[in-house]
Amino acid sequence: MNVTIDKFSGFCWGVVRTVQIAEDQLAETRANRNVYVLGNIIHNPKEIERLESKGLRTISVDDFPRLANSGAKVIIRAHGEPPATYRKAWENGIEIVDATCPVVTKLQERVRKFWDQGYQIVIFGKHDHAEVLGVRGVVQDQCVVVTSVEEAMNNVALNRKTVLFSQTTMDRPTFVAVRDTLKTRISELVVDTLEDIATEFHAKDTICGQVSGRESQLAKFAAQNDVILFVAGHASSNGKVLYNVAKAANPRTYFIERAEEIDPEWLRDVTSVGISGATSTPQWYMEEVRELIVTNYE
């Protein structure tokens, strides 16, 4: 059995940056100065467990009063936070270490700019996703969040000047469908292009290029193997998007969060297995999955 790992899978640079910030803070922090992160640092339980073993603790904003003036450091994860979180930290004397992905920071800035100009803000994304919660907070929740063309048609005011953004990890085909539908019905529609950072991030819109840019390559990789094991956290939005890309190219694609979920029947009479993952899937864990297959199923 030939078992290969998709060379384009694994952490995106934004996740690499966030994890490195967490590790640096853990290394620098004295024993009496705890390091915390607001919510799961990334949507992958194996990487969370690894960082927790080094001393990282996961909290919520509700824990701020308990940590008030204790000298604690609190990391803002890659998904970002609304302005209210920073105010609460300041009120409680908590030091913030901001590890928000720069693409998410730029998204928040652009949303605020158009909101200040009186535009109706439409976000293609998941209403309660951490990244969208941050964007909603920037505009005091005065925005419309949609996940489909139908929701856009039912919930977006068609007689207002409007700007369309996307959560950075959503799927491009549905975004394009929402965009094209609104274009035919709203006379003044802006689809934000992040032009001022296009050179740096290769961005055509606010969908992260490190998600959408992998789609064609992932489909090719999936088609080249008998079976695909897609390794990602169940809470990972980009994991779900990329898994569906692989599944469309190869029906024998299976989503696993942990190696223990592998069904031996998936690998019966198989000559090639491909392993891929989300932008929040650590390379070291995909290597562990490969080793388990090679050791137990060949």
What amino acid positions are annotated as catalytic residues?
A: 131
Structure tokens at 1: 């059995």
CB atoms within 10 A of CB 121: 21
Q: Do residues 25 and 97 lie in contact, with contact meaning Cβ atoms separated by under 8 Å?
A: yes
Q: How far apart are CA 293 and CA 2, in angstroms?
A: 10
**Beta sheet of 162-166, edge-to-edge order:** 144-146, 120-124, 162-166, 189-191
Tell me the HSE value of 48 on the side-chain side, using a 13 A CA sphere: 19
Element (H, E) at 67: helix 64-67
Tell me the HSE value of 76 on the side-chain side, using a 13 A CA sphere: 24
**Beta sheet of 35-38, edge-to-edge order:** 57-59, 35-38, 73-76, 95-98
Q: Do residues 238 and 32 lie in contact, with contact meaning Cβ atoms separated by under 8 Å?
A: no
Q: Which residue has the tokens 């300041």?
A: 90
